[in-house]
Amino acid sequence: MINLDKTDTAILDILQKEGRISNAALSERVGLSQSACSRRLDILEKSGVIKGYHARISHKALDYRMMAIVHISLSGQFAKTLTEFENAVRRCPNVLVCYLVSGEYDYILRVAARDLEDYERIHRDWLSALPHVVKINSSFSLREVMDRPNVGLD
């Protein structure tokens, strides 16, 4: 783990809100020279603190109006079983998030679909075809209350 000072935290806070900010503007806002700011960014990227830069695209704007939360149980939790499932789920284009969890189910997925008919296709062609799946339980989001992309920086 990298120790973040106040300047690193300020850089991260600004980037979380304004990912397209130029290095010149960023360096001015945090009180560093452009080269010093660039070096800090390089360290934050290479250490894995910054995982990448992404555009947040509206699923609804692309006609994905339905979000499903899918709980999946596997036939076992052997390393080979988990690896085979995880490799296969990565190939599912509509699966946005996949978590290995403790509790009643083995995995929780967030799946984007255009509508109920599209979700039926995803369920039939992708989710049911995943290796070692013995149970699928789907819940559908009625409304997105919030979708925070990052944890707060204190």
Global pTM value: 0.83
Amino acid at 20: R
Looking at residue 96, which CATH number applies to its domain? 3.30.70.920
- Range(s) of the domain holding residue 22: 6-46
Give residue 25's Cα distance to chain centre: 28
Question: Strand 95-100 relative to strand 133-140: parallel, antiparallel, unpaired?
Answer: unpaired
Q: What tens digit of pLDDT does each residue of 10-46 get?
A: 999 999 989 999 999 999 999 999 999 999 999 999 9
Looking at residue 17, which CATH number applies to its domain? 1.10.10.10
Return the closest-CA partner of residue 15 out of 2, 5, 30, 4. Answer: 30
Q: How many residues are there in the chain?
A: 154
Q: Does a structural domain hold residue 134? A: yes
Q: What tens digit of pLDDT does each residue of 55-112 get?
A: 888 899 999 999 999 999 999 999 999 999 999 999 999 999 999 999 999 999 999 9
Q: Does a structural domain hold residue 154? A: no
Distance CA 123, CA 29 (A): 48
